[in-house]
Amino acid sequence: MTSEQVEANPIVDVGPVAHGGHCVARLDGQVVFVRHALPGERVEIRITERTKRFLRADAVRIIEPSPERVEPPCEFAGRCGGCDFQHVSAAGQPELLTSVVREQLARLAKIDWTGSVESVGGLTGWRTRLVWSVAPNGLAGLRRHRSHEVLPIDNCVIAHPGLPRVQQQVWDTDRVEAIVSSTNQRLLVTDGTVEDELESTVDGVVATDRTVRAGSAVLTEQVLGRDFAVSGSGFWQVHPKAAKTLVSAVLEAAQVEAGDRVLDLYAGAGLFSAFLAEACAPGELLSVEGNRTASADAKKNLANNANAVTIHAPVERALNRGLLGDSADIVVLDPPRAGAKQAVSAIAALAPRKIVYVACDPAALARDIASFAELGYSLESLRAFALFPMTHHVECVALLVRAGSELR
């Protein structure tokens, strides 16, 4: 990388994309993480943060643009911290995500992944759950990048058009969550005052402590012909096509057989559990979730599956205390962004023939794949999906198999 110093801001040649929504450049030998740039570009940057190990910067002038650069569709691009890739073409975004997944797997798991991130739907109007912050003037908005400052926003281009219009009133609270379900139910989660005009457009208002303030606190989500009850702001995928996409990928990877004993770990409201229970019947399905509300939702959603058992406990505790038995045929896990960590060894100790790992962070996934490799499990396949367009987030479904196992 070369750099040229100008009077106000330096000019750098931009290198590869990195995990986190920025690209890597070098300035006088020091690493610079540059936002709003693309690999191969020459840009003028403004330094926004200095540390002993690296710099952070924004690209403020594009001198030599990438062919994948486009005009951002959002007027708040570059100021709002919600999106990373507004300036990247529809074809270029999954390519960047592919580079990130490949780099993380190569660096942390020593795996040469030759697949590509798959696009799912369009770039805008997809986010069905959105937490708004409130500015000091009472207007709803989103935080600036790496800042507590709230930028009032009257129109978010990635927001689903069916979301409640929280921007239409002045708020007396600091946080409002807006939700629209796949069945077009609309919900607000807030402790603030909801004006009559806005309240008339939603099906329910819920406080952050889950107290029902108006209407209903439960949403119905539909996936592959099945209904799921989800309470308040309980976890659910935010892209309209995410649930169907991930269920299909998990079932394809797991290849569950009748009579299998299956564990669904970090099961949430039971999305995967419901379909896994159908596939393994009359075998047992254990749906394990640490969040009390989500576990209660899962119990309701699995009520018609006689072979399904819901367990409310942190996954690590359930594994370490032997609550899940001493063996399993299939283990599916969808851990939080930090990954499975200490649960890896306990999962491997169950000696499942297949482990299906759903991950929202490729770095945590790659680290855990390396840990599973030390315990006799290798990566058989991996699919990745661009379920968060305009952002650096990517969802992966990895299949791990035990060395020497006879796959059926």
Q: pTM (2 decimals)? A: 0.94
* SS3 at position 44: strand
Given this model, what pLDDT does residue 406 score? 47
Tell me the Cα Rg of the chain: 23
- pLDDT per residue over 278-290, tens digit each? 999 999 999 999 9
> Sign (positive/negative) of CA torsion 243, 239, 387, 346?
negative
Q: Look at residues 254, 333, 329 and name the one whose alpha carbon lies nearest to residue 290.
A: 333
Give CA–CA dist 17/204, Å, rounded: 42
- Give the pLDDT confidence score for residue 233 in this predicted structure: 80
Contact by Cβ (8 Å): 400, 391: no
The phi, psi pair for 398, rounded to 5°, reads -110, 140
Taking residue 137's Cβ as centre, other Cβ atoms within 10 Å add up to: 10
Distance (Å, whole) CA 170 – CA 249 = 43
Q: How many CB atoms lie within 10 A of CB 393?
A: 17
pLDDT reported for residue 8: 76
Report DSSP state, residue 251: H
What pLDDT is recorded for position 198? 98
Structure tokens at 148: 């507590």
Judged on CB neighbours under 10 Å (0-12, 13-18, 19+), 112 is: exposed
pLDDT of residue 408: 38
**360 given a catalytic annotation:** yes
Q: Which residue in the list 23, 74, 280, 360 is annotated as catalytic?
A: 360
Q: Which domains, ranges and CATH numbers included, belong to the chain?
A: 3-64 (2.40.50.140), 109-119+240-402 (3.40.50.150), 129-223 (no CATH)
Can you tell me the distance from the alpha carbon of 378 to that of 402, in angstroms, rounded to the nearest whole number?
A: 7
Closest CA to 201 of 163, 171, 237: 163
pLDDT for position 407: 42
pLDDT tens for the 408 residues of the chain, in order? 444 444 579 999 999 999 999 999 999 999 999 999 999 999 999 999 999 999 999 999 999 999 999 999 999 998 999 999 999 999 999 999 999 999 999 999 999 999 999 999 999 999 999 999 999 999 999 999 889 999 999 999 999 999 999 999 999 999 999 999 999 999 999 999 999 999 999 999 999 999 999 999 999 999 999 999 999 888 899 999 999 999 999 999 999 999 999 999 999 999 999 999 999 999 999 999 999 999 999 999 999 999 999 999 999 999 999 999 999 999 999 999 999 999 999 999 999 999 999 999 999 999 999 999 999 999 999 999 999 999 999 999 999 999 765 443
User: What pLDDT was estimated at residue 175?
Assistant: 96
b/e string for 165-196 if b means 16 or more Cβ within 10 A?
A: bbbebebeeeebbbbbbbeebbbbbbebebee
Which pLDDT does position 248 carry in this prediction?
A: 98
Task: Return the pLDDT at 3.
Answer: 46
39 upstream amide cis, omega within 30 of 0: no
| Measured distance CA(208)–CA(188) in Å, rounded | 10
Contact (CB, 8 A) for 285 and 273: yes
